[in-house]
Amino acid sequence: MSTLCLPEQQTPLLTHIEPLLAAAENYQLGEAVELGASRSAVVDIVIEGQAISLAFGDTKLEGTGYQVRDLWVAPYPSLAEMQQQVANQPQLVVLGLPTATGFADIWHHNGEARANHCHQMGDREPAQAMLLASLALDYPLEDAVTLARAYARSVVYQDGLLAWPLERQCFPRPLTANHSEAEVLGWSSKEVAVKPFAKTDPAKLKLYPVVDTAEWVEKVLELGVKTTQLRIKDPSEPTLPQQVERIIAAGREHQAQVFVNDYWQLAIASQAYGVHLGQEDLETADLAAIQQAGLCLGLSTHGYYEILRAAEFAPSYIALGHIYPTTTKQMPSKPQGLSRLALYQQLIGDMFPTVAIGGIDLSRAESVWQTGVSSVAVVRAVTQAEDPQAAVDAFNRILVRPTEQ
Ligand SMILES: Cc1ncc(COP(=O)(O)OP(=O)(O)O)c(N)n1
Ligand SMILES: Cc1nc(C(=O)O)sc1CCOP(=O)(O)O
Ligand SMILES: [Mg+2]
């Protein structure tokens, strides 16, 4: 249970907040949110005992939270100026800044500014309402800002229908180097622009065991698996280059799609089938070199913004994690759950293959598969199975579409 308390002047937002919370309940997107009145001029949200405040316009933020600027009177600051300001002010959230070709929403992330951009922005109140509703539903700030814009736009597209935004056309585009307007708009990014990555074979991308030795890669390929990944987290592991060579040879022998986690230079040098990278790698890895070498690229995502950001790079697949709690890896984010997964899958549609990961076992595979994902990645469900062959066979029986039966 969380609470969302509005000051008097923000109560008109309830016109949007109430149906949005009802839609979220309907889709089972989060815990129930109790609405109340704030005794101060700021909006107060409390989730699991943690309080954040949001101050709009001239209201001053005191304490933890966000100062939201969303009312613009010419002359506007430039996008480059706001990028700098937000990078220096972690609490500043900028909504609907007019730019040369549209509108930008900007927020702070790890010492930098991030932004979405769109040509039509919708109205201010729906955006404010969704920002608050989605924060109260425990979406991270970047997803709340992304949903705020998607909702404000969807109210326009759907002719005033107050519903949870689902369609890609409502969502803004993250400003990355791959955004054709980033340069014209004066947005500077650390990533480089890249062409689309090689495509995977969807028929092979179903059960996707992620394992930590070349021996395990060879073993799962022997068991009939057609997509797998070598994930060795210790970069000083002395046998790393040999293990990568081994898995590439084994992948070729079995005509399988074998990915290397993290070590993209090694993967290029050894002409691996593909590389899997995380969000933080997008700014440091040489994506152009990976693309030019013809390798497939899988990208991790953990929410709306990361999905849209990943899509900008046209990867070979988008991984959606973590769906359920996992003990395999310490996760900074919360488990997404099936309902959020289903909406992410609907948003991505057939634009890119998708891979669900995190806490998936045989008992959960069927419901994950029913969301429409292209693949299910597992660690423990195969490597800790009493009988890995039986586990692989059981997954293979589940991961079938009706047209293939
Ligand atoms: C299929 C698949 N999905 C997600 C991940 C996680 O990648 P990343 O976020 O880079 O984290 P590490 O695996 O490097 O800890 C993955 N490896 N594979
Ligand atoms: C490697 C990894 N990445 C995740 C993500 O969400 O990005 S979850 C995960 C571990 C998945 O392990 P298991 O199947 O044992 O829960
Ligand atoms: Mg990684």
Beta strands in 226-362 (DSSP E): 227-230, 257-261, 274-277, 296-301, 317-320, 354-357
Both tokens of residue 380?
């423990």
Ligand 1, residue 377: give the atom nearest the CA: 1
Q: Is the pLDDT of residue 305 over 90?
A: yes
Separation of CA 185 and ligand 3 centre (Å): 31
What does the pLDDT read at residue 63?
A: 85
Separation of CA 384 and ligand 2 centre (Å): 14
State which H helix or E strand residue 211 sits in: strand 207-211
158: confidence class by pLDDT, cuts 50, 70, 90: confident
Ligand 2, residue 325: give the atom nearest the CA: 16
Ligand 1 touching residue 321 (CB < 6 A): yes
First vs last C-alpha separation in the chain: 43
Separation of CA 249 and ligand 1 centre (Å): 22
Domains of the chain in start order, with CATH, are: 2-185 (no CATH), 202-404 (3.20.20.70)
Average pLDDT over residues 34-61: 95
What does the pLDDT read at residue 155?
A: 87
List pLDDT tens digits, range 352-378: 999 999 999 999 999 999 999 999 999
Q: Is the pLDDT of residue 159 over 80?
A: no
* Closest ligand by atom to 329 CA: 2
Average pLDDT over residues 194-205: 97
List pLDDT tens digits, range 267-303: 999 999 999 999 999 989 999 999 999 999 999 999 9
262 annotated to bind ligand: yes
Q: Is the pLDDT of residue 106 over 90?
A: yes
What lines the ligand 2 site, CB under 6 Å?
Answer: 210, 300, 321-322, 326, 328-329, 357-360, 378-381
348: confidence class by pLDDT, cuts 50, 70, 90: very high
Q: Is the pLDDT of residue 169 over 90?
A: yes
- Beta pairing, strands 92-98 & 103-109: antiparallel
List pLDDT tens digits, range 234-243: 999 999 999 9
Complex-level ipTM: 0.99
Q: For 60, what's the count of Cα atoms within 13 Å in the CB-facing half-sphere?
A: 1
Of the candidates 196, 149, 191, the residue with the CA atom closest to the CA atom of residue 168: 149
List pLDDT tens digits, range 240-253: 999 999 999 999 99
Of the candidates 398, 394, 319, the residue with the CA atom closest to the CA atom of residue 366: 398
Average pLDDT over residues 298-314: 97
190: confidence class by pLDDT, cuts 50, 70, 90: confident
% of the chain exceeding 70 in pLDDT? 100
Ligand 1, residue 261: give the atom nearest the CA: 17
Contacts of 275 (CB under 8 A, 6+ apart): 259, 260, 261, 262, 263, 264, 267, 268, 290, 295, 296, 297, 298
Separation of CA 202 and ligand 2 centre (Å): 21
Separation CA 274–CA 291 (nearest Å): 10
Ligand 1 touching residue 261 (CB < 6 A): yes
